[in-house]
């Protein structure tokens, strides 16, 4: 990858963290401890798989096209499996609040869409 692509990925990851922190703080102010925990877990369920995907794809930079495509497929498959596993573990916890969990999850994922619009 070029330096510009790395900086774009770094920016998206940074904005994702920022959105998660801001929304988790907001839910902590308006709700109980379970709201803040649920919000943070929703953010983690979005962030961790995306970070895995980004690192997996970054590792394939500079290789032949076939290996890059294979890396994308493997990264996306791993991302989906990791997301499912994280949600499975999250829903095993007591007192999880769905609204904060899904709100922060969707907001963290939407960072990618806003990044595309800003380009």
Domain count, the chain: 1
| 6-51 confidence digits (pLDDT tens) | 567 788 889 999 999 999 999 999 988 999 999 999 999 999 999 9
Task: Report pTM.
Answer: 0.86
Q: E strand or H helix at 92, and its extent?
A: none
Range of the domain at 50: 3-118
| 51-101 confidence digits (pLDDT tens) | 999 888 888 878 888 888 888 899 999 999 999 999 999 999 999 999 999
Task: Provide the 3-class DSSP secondary structure of residue 12.
Answer: helix
Residues 57 and 52: their CA atoms lie apart, in Å, by 9
């Amino acid at each position: 990858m070029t330096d510009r692509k790395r900086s774009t990925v770094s920016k998206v990851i940074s904005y994702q963290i920022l959105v998660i922190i801001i929304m988790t703080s907001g839910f902590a102010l308006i709700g109980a401890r379970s709201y803040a925990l649920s919000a943070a877990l929703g953010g983690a369920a979005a962030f961790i798989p995306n970070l895995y995907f980004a690192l997996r794809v970054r590792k394939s930079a500079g290789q032949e096209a076939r290996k890059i495509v294979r890396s994308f497929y493997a990264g996306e498959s791993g991302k989906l499996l990791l997301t499912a596993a994280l949600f499975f573990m999250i829903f095993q916890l007591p007192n999880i609040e769905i609204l904060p969990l899904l709100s922060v999850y969707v907001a963290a994922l939407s960072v990618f869409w806003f990044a595309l619009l800003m380009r």
